């Protein structure tokens, strides 16, 4: 037999299939080690053949076959071909998406436990061997016990002696390392509301492959997803359920666990390597049939998929920022196609692209306009911070928010304070010369962290001591600008001394389950106020939160990105949606320096359609996505010279493309990237706006053509982050 092998090396020059001879212990989809260029490397068997075209003396044998069921299925190979063609990455890089990284490194193995199992009391033991006798008595009653524990209790010698004489045997059993801390008892299915039933019926009845559930926050989308999943299971199929960031939404997983028990497996980066490994195998072997996780779980090893669900489909985390730079929705569509299953997207604030596909009839659009039980959406009040400043209020809180906060606290309910940033304050500015302290490696402002009294770069993690004087002019008047979570917390402490306050941001949530701990404390009402950044905007359901304060709603309006209005609308709607989800009506105070802004007006009225209409007209007039495609070729290098050389080559290549197809180009230019340097590498870009994706393959080719040992070039499509 001959194995067709893709070697696990991420290089375009070895991006082909190699043949090795093998025995019948090799099957399609299994992992092997093969000799390759004087070394032995890992490889994936993508096919088997009886014959080879190569002369037999040129074919080497497979060196090693991993002792495990085949890790890759047929669908993986199809996806591998599609993705590597689409995003121009080596096939090996695509295959890596399908298996957990800890499996590839070989660092994690299955975990085993040694047990001793009772066999017979009918053995000869010396009367003086007290420990042996005691152990035999113990194990004859227990039947089975942990080997290590028995050794501790009776002595290794005694345990081994009894086993050797046939009184007991040693057995090795596989242990499943299951993620802990998520369970929450039994959660019986609810009687569906008419709107939920109608949504499910629409999904079943519509012949379309993609369905968009556009439902206001609290409209019960989750219950619809759960029903879609149970229907898939009833038909003997599996399901994939994607959420933006699983570690931020443990409630979602608890719900799935309570409803589906061990049939649900979780895949996310917060798990230990061993847990992730075991959960992955549970899915692969079919022991678990629902995969839940963030972006990368779209590659879950489930077969025979009945439904793929993408919750909060508008979320930026669904775009991969490393190669292959895939869109999760695009991959999910491919998988839905291979499996003949439905893809369900859900959001209270769908992305403009998705919603326009839905209104054009490409997707099946399902609209839920009301919250469960007709609960009102929280009323949003705008607080004009310019007036507050004029009135001499220099704190982070408007009068309105302060009053609502004290009413909420008096009523024994909870509040969430949301702000758009992190750290004690953004930047440190020299009041004498205006210099902003920047990272030496990244050309971005440093952020001051008061707890460690240091400056940190959020791009490379570098830490700097807080200088006493400005490094530029020696001036001693350094000032922190902006407001961060820490300052908000300390302002809150002085305004409401008896309130219990929790802070959730990048600094307080490190470590495994860091987020989960804070969210649980808040859910269990161990705190009255939760202060946080973007992390608290997403899908949480805290029934006793009746007030949400949005401190700097317009921050994201000022980003130089065509998506800024959309992001702001989404953020306000999502954060506001955390308020008043149970009995009491909720309130939201939205603080802003630009209260007349049209996006805020749509957001305050929960007018998604109005917002969308306005936005789509604007994008049409200015020819931005979905009426065009923004394409950026990034070039990074340690030295300017290398970067500029590659940049020039790519740019001229693009100019040639434009000369041949001028109608495809709306915009083309080359420039420094907004952040000129990250981690010591300079950054340049060719930026273009294209009529369609037709020329993309050629642009991807240009990027690989000019990637050298010194310069690295890659393509981004409609990048989320243009920094
Ligand atoms: P969404 O995901 O649309 O924001 P959720 O699914 O979180 O909304 O539902 C909002 C609230 O309504 C939750 O507390 C949920 O438990 C509750 N809920 C959902 N469906 C039902 C139902 N059919 N009957 C009663 N309560 C429901
Ligand atoms: Zn840096």
What is the CATH classification number for the domain harbouring 225?
A: 3.40.50.300
Dihedral sign (CA 179, 180, 184, 186)? positive
Tens digit of pLDDT for each residue in 651-682?
999 999 999 999 999 999 998 887 888 989 99
**CA 464 / ligand 2 centre spacing (Å):** 10
Q: How far apart are CA 124 and CA 592, in angstroms?
A: 85
136 strand-pairing partners: none
DSSP assignments along 514-528, one per residue: HHHHHHHHHHTTS-S
Instruction: Say if ligand 1 is within 6 A of residue 193 CB.
Output: yes
Kindly state whether residues 99 and 120 are assigned to the same domain: no
- Phi and psi based region of residue 373 (left: phi greater than 0; alpha: psi -120 to 50; beta: remaining): left
Question: Helices marked H in 293-438 — which ranges?
Answer: 328-339, 352-359, 385-390, 399-410
Work out which ligand 1 atom sits closest to the CA atom of 311: 2
Q: Predicted confidence band at 648 (pLDDT cuts at 50, 70, 90)?
A: very high
Does 621 map to a domain?
no
Kindly state whether residues 313 and 366 are assigned to the same domain: yes
Closest CA to 655 of 665, 645, 643: 665
Dihedral sign (CA 661, 664, 666, 671)? negative
Rounded mean pLDDT, 280-292: 94
Domain boundaries, position 227? 194-372
Question: Is 70 exceeded by the pLDDT of residue 425?
Answer: no
Instruction: Say if ligand 1 is within 6 A of residue 278 CB.
Output: no
Does 189 map to a domain?
no
Tens digit of pLDDT for each residue in 98-114?
988 777 766 556 667 78
Protein residue with least CA distance to atom 2, ligand 1:
221
Work out which ligand 1 atom sits closest to the CA atom of 192: 23
Work out which ligand 1 atom sits closest to the CA atom of 217: 4
Kindly state whether residues 385 and 522 are assigned to the same domain: yes
**CA 389 / ligand 2 centre spacing (Å):** 34
The CA angle 331-337-340, to the nearest 5 degrees, is 135
- Mean of the per-residue pLDDT values for the chain? 88
Closest CA to 142 of 121, 120, 118, 158: 118
Mutation test residue for ligand 1: of 194, 222, 545, the one with most atoms within 8 Å of CB = 222
**CA 573 / ligand 1 centre spacing (Å):** 17
Kindly provide the residue ranges of all beta strands, DSSP E only, lying in 467-586, ordered along the sequence: 478-480, 501-504, 529-532, 545-550
Q: Predicted confidence band at 441 (pLDDT cuts at 50, 70, 90)?
A: confident
Instruction: Say if ligand 1 is within 6 A of residue 580 CB.
Output: no
Instruction: Say if ligand 1 is within 6 A of residue 645 CB.
Output: no
Q: Which of 53-57, 149-153, 609-613 has the lowest mean pLDDT?
A: 53-57
**CA 582 / ligand 1 centre spacing (Å):** 9
215 strand-pairing partners: 368
| Spacing of C-alpha 294 from chain mean position | 4
Instruction: Say if ligand 1 is within 6 A of residue 223 CB.
Output: yes
Quote the DSSP letter at residue 501.
E
Q: Predicted confidence band at 475 (pLDDT cuts at 50, 70, 90)?
A: confident
Does 611 map to a domain?
no
Closest CA to 700 of 690, 688, 715: 715
Q: End-to-end CA distance of the chain: give it in Å, rounded.
A: 52
Instruction: Say if ligand 1 is within 6 A of residue 200 CB.
Output: no
Q: Give the pLDDT of residue 177.
A: 66
**CA 519 / ligand 1 centre spacing (Å):** 19
Q: Predicted confidence band at 636 (pLDDT cuts at 50, 70, 90)?
A: very high
DSSP assignments along 587-612, one per residue: EEEEEES-TT-HHHHHHHTT-HHHHH
Q: Give the pLDDT of residue 650.
A: 98
Kindly state whether residues 121 and 98 are assigned to the same domain: no
Tens digit of pLDDT for each residue in 237-268?
999 999 987 666 677 778 888 899 999 998 87
Instruction: Say if ligand 1 is within 6 A of residue 196 CB.
Output: yes
Kindly state whether residues 219 and 333 are assigned to the same domain: yes
Q: How many domains does the chain have?
A: 5
Does 397 map to a domain?
yes
Kindly state whether residues 392 and 530 are assigned to the same domain: yes
Protein residue with least CA distance to atom 20, ligand 1:
220
Does 450 map to a domain?
no
Rounded mean pLDDT, 381-389: 87
**CA 444 / ligand 2 centre spacing (Å):** 7
- Give φ, ψ of 119 to 5 degrees: -115, -55
Q: Predicted confidence band at 424 (pLDDT cuts at 50, 70, 90)?
A: very low
Dihedral angle computed from the Cα positions of residues 491, 494, 497 and 501, in that order, rounded to the nearest 10 degrees:
20
Q: Which of 83-97, 191-205, 451-465 has the lowest mean pLDDT?
A: 451-465
Instruction: Say if ligand 1 is within 6 A of residue 221 CB.
Output: yes
Instruction: Say if ligand 1 is within 6 A of residue 349 CB.
Output: no
Protein residue with least CA distance to atom 16, ligand 1:
220
The CA angle 384-387-392, to the nearest 5 degrees, is 130
**CA 561 / ligand 2 centre spacing (Å):** 22
Kindly state whether residues 384 and 331 are assigned to the same domain: no
């Amino acid at each position: 037999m001959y194995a067709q092998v893709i070697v696990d090396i991420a290089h375009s020059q070895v991006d082909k299939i190699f043949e090795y001879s093998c025995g019948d212990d090799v099957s399609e989809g299994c992992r092997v080690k093969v000799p390759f260029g004087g070394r032995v490397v890992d490889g994936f068997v993508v096919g088997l053949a009886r014959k080879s075209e190569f002369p037999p003396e040129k074919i080497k044998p497979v060196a090693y076959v991993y002792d495990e069921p085949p890790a890759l299925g047929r669908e993986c190979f199809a996806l591998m071909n599609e993705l590597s063609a689409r995003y121009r990455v080596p096939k090996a890089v695509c295959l890596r998406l399908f298996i957990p990284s800890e499996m590839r490194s070989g660092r994690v193995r299955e975990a085993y436990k040694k047990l001793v199992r009772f066999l017979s009391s009918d053995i000869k033991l010396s009367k003086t061997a007290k420990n042996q006798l005691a152990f035999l008595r113990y194990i004859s009653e227990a039947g089975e016990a942990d080997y290590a524990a028995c050794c501790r209790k009776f002595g290794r010698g005694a345990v081994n002696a009894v086993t050797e004489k046939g009184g007991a045997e040693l057995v090795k059993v596989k242990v499943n390392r299951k993620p802990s801390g998520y369970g929450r008892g039994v959660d019986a299915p609810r009687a569906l509301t008419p709107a939920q039933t109608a949504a499910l019926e629409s999904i079943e009845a519509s012949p379309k492959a993609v369905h968009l559930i556009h439902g206001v926050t609290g409209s019960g989308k989750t219950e619809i997803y759960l029903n879609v999943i149970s229907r898939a299971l009833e038909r003997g199929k599996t399901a994939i359920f994607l959420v933006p960031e699983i570690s931020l939404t443990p409630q979602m997983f608890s719900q799935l666990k309570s409803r589906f028990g061990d049939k649900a497996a979780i895949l996310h980066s917060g798990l230990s390597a061993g847990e992730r490994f075991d959960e992955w195998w549970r899915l692969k072997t079919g022991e678990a049939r629902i995969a839940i996780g963030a972006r990368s779980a779209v590659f879950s090893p489930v077969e025979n998929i009945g439904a793929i669900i993408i919750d909060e489909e508008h979320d930026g985390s669904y775009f991969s920022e490393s190669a292959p730079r895939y869109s999760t929705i695009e991959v999910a569509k491919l998988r839905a196609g291979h499996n003949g299953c439905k893809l369900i997207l859900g959001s209270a604030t769908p992305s403009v692209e998705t919603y326009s596909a839905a209104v054009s009839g490409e997707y099946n659009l399902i609209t839920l306009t009301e919250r469960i039980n007709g609960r009102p959406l929280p009323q949003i009040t705008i607080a004009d911070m310019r007036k507050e400043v004029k009135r001499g209020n220099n704190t982070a809180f408007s009068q309105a928010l302060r009053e609502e906060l004290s009413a909420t606290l008096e009523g024994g309910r909870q509040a969430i304070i949301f702000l758009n940033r992190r750290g004690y304050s953004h930047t440190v500015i020299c009041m004498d010369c205006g210099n902003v302290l920047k990272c030496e490696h990244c050309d971005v402002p440093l952020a001051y962290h008061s707890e460690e009294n240091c400056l940190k770069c959020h791009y490379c993690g570098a830490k700097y001591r807080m200088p006493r004087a400005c490094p530029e002019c020696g001036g001693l008047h350094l000032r922190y600008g902006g407001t961060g979570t820490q300052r908000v917390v300390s302002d809150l402490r002085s305004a409401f001394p008896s309130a219990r306050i929790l802070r959730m941001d990048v600094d307080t949530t490190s470590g495994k389950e860091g987020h989960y701990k804070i969210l649980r404390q808040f859910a269990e009402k161990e705190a009255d106020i939760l202060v946080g950044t973007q992390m608290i905007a997403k899908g949480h359901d805290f029934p006793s939160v009746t007030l949400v304060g949005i401190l700097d709603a317009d921050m994201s309006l000022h980003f130089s990105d065509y998506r800024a209005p959309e992001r702001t609308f989404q953020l306000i709607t999502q954060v506001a949606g955390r308020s008043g989800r149970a009995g009491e009506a909720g309130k939201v105070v939205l603080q802003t320096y630009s209260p007349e802004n049209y996006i805020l007006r749509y957001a305050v009225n929960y007018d998604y359609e109005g917002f969308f209409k306005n936005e789509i007209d604007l994008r049409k007039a200015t020819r931005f996505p979905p009426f065009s495609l923004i394409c950026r070729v990034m070039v990074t290098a340690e030295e300017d010279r290398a970067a500029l050389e590659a940049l020039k080559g790519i740019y001229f290549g693009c100019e040639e493309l434009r000369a041949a197809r001028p109608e495809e180009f709306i915009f083309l230019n080359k420039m420094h990237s907004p952040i000129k340097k990250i981690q010591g590498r300079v950054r340049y870009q060719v930026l273009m706006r294209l009529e369609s994706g037709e020329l993309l393959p050629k642009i991807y080719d240009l990027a690989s053509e000019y990637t050298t040992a010194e310069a690295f070039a890659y393509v981004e499509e409609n990048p989320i982050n243009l920094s």
